[in-house]
Amino acid sequence: MSILQIIKYPNPILKTPCDALHQEIPGVEQLINDMQDTLIAHPFCVGLAAPQVGTLLRIVVVDCSRSRKPCKHHGNLVLINPLITYREGEQVMREGCLSVPDYTGNVKRAVSVVVEGLDSDEIPQKIEAEGFEAVVLQHEIDHLDGILFLDRITSLKTDVFRRKNY
């Protein structure tokens, strides 16, 4: 078990788009295992993207079952090269991020999404998600494109909040 260090804003790696995996890269399986261990080590954390641990590859791990928020979830997901292929609706939810530990913010996102990518065995996956799980997937995929939730805030004055505890 290896807990990886979380990269914090304003580190420029968080604003750098990630490279897709088109071939087998040594150490990817270990990276995924370490990302899952890192997610588990942070209470209430439901998603983690590779750039948050210093790796510019298009990999996310998500497990919404760790949340207190009610949602229909797919359990523990590993997605390589995830891509949102469909979005529907609009909702505003309060988001936080391990890489921006001192703040949360109201972010407008799609209510439901379809995400396609590969699992850790490189088997194609098509995930249909809604509500909280859809938000988490959008948040983590944004990380792969160098986008933080702060970039999606409508008003820094009214939609960003200092976190009381973490």
Q: Read off the pLDDT of residues 44-96 as tens digits, 9 standing for 90 and up.
A: 899 999 999 999 999 999 999 877 766 677 789 999 999 999 999 999 999 99
**Under CATH, what is the fold of the domain 12-162?**
Peptide Deformylase (3.90.45)
88 is catalytic: no
* DSSP-based three-state secondary structure for 135: helix
Question: What is d(CA 134, CA 150) in angstroms, rounded to the nearest whole number?
Answer: 18
Environment class of residue 30 by beta-carbon count within 10 Å: exposed (0-12), middle (13-18) or buried (19+)? exposed
pTM, full prediction: 0.95
Residue-level pLDDT at 166: 54
* Catalytic residue from among 24, 88, 133, 140: 140
